Amino acid sequence: MSKVKAAVFASGTGSNFQAMLDEDDFPCEIVLLVSDQEQAGVLKKAMQHGIETFVFSAKDYESKEAYEAEIAEQLKRKGIEWVFLAGYMRLIGPTLLQAYEGKIVNIHPSYLPAFPGKDAIGQAFEAGVRQTGVTVHFIDEGMDTGPIIRQEAVSILANDTKETLQKRIQKVEHRLYPQVIRELIQK
């Protein structure tokens, strides 16, 4: 049975991207990495694994619709069936939402709806809460507001720093995201 073709969108180091690549018998073939950051560490990971990349700068386009139309064309050209966001720091607009309705998934480092948006770990740490977590959810037009697929709580320990909390959250992400993807694909 052939694997489902997937694209990963990422703007940073790509630790969740790497976790997907490291999975044994992962149900997807990641055939495209999309990034809005030409210096993102994830690009090196893609290159090392022979995965094609599409890198763009939003300022080179007249509108969000314009760059999303080009992304959609790249996805279509590669036969992409699912899109997984892994630290992609842009809201997805109607162009991609309509083309991949119900097939765009994100992982977020908080127990949504708490701490949406950027620096969720820092937000939780600074708020002084005792618990945060990880959320895998479908994408909609809002900021981390799409339907939740799965969540897992992560306690904030008394001796935690932002860095130690981030490491524990990433450990959960790297296990949870591939697991949820596997379940979605095998439905």
**Which residues are designated catalytic?**
108
Those residues whose C-beta lies under 8 Å from the C-beta of residue 32, and which sit 6 or more positions away, are 7, 8, 51, 52, 53, 54, 74, 75, 78, 80
Of 80, 88, 73, the C-alpha closest to 31 is: 80
* Burial of residue 48 (number of CB atoms within 10 Å: 0-12, 13-18, 19+): exposed
The structure tokens listed for 78 are 């590669």
The structure tokens listed for 177 are 């995201």
User: Cα 112 from chain centroid?
Assistant: 15
Those residues whose C-beta lies under 8 Å from the C-beta of residue 120, and which sit 6 or more positions away, are 108, 109, 110, 132
